[in-house]
Structure 1
């Protein structure tokens, strides 16, 4: 395995981690909305989920960039 293969597989793993975290965010917000929380509690829950959501999007983006970079440089 070359360094570019490691870059591709590492980027794919990082992307999958981001996707799993995004699914967690969706499930958490859906549960919070279904629980019938008042506005203040729902906003507090959404604020915490928003940080995880932004980190997940960033991880997915960096992972996809690593995959593309590994493919371009490895061929």
Structure 2
């Protein structure tokens, strides 16, 4: 296994972790909407989910960049 194979597999793992976190965000939003909260309570519940969502998108993007870098250089 070369360094570039490691980049590809590491990037794939990061991407999968990011996608799983995005799935968690979707489930959290669906549960919050089904709870029937008023607007202010729903916003309070969504604030931490938004932070996780942005982090998950960033992790996914970095993972995909590592995969592409490993493919192009390998």
Relative to structure 2, which stretch is displaced further, 10-19 or 35-44?
Answer: 35-44
TM-score (norm 2): 0.98
TM-score by length of 1: 0.97
Deviations 1:28-60 (A, max 9, x none): 000000000111110011111000000000000
Instruction: Using the TM superposition, give the Cα deviation of residue 20 of structure 1 relative to its aligned residue in structure 2, in angstroms.
Output: 0.2
**Which residues of structure 1 form unaligned runs of 5+?**
none
Q: What is the aligned residue count? A: 74
* Residues in 1 aligned to 2:41 and 2:8: alpha-carbon distance in whole angstroms: 41
Provide the rounded CA distance (Å) in 2 between the counterparts of 1:61 and 1:11. 9
* RMSD of aligned residue pairs (Cα, Å): 0.5
Paired residues for 1:7-26 under 5 Å = 7-26=7-26
Once superposed, which parts of structure 1, at least 4 consecutive aligned residues long, lie more than 6 Å away?
Answer: none
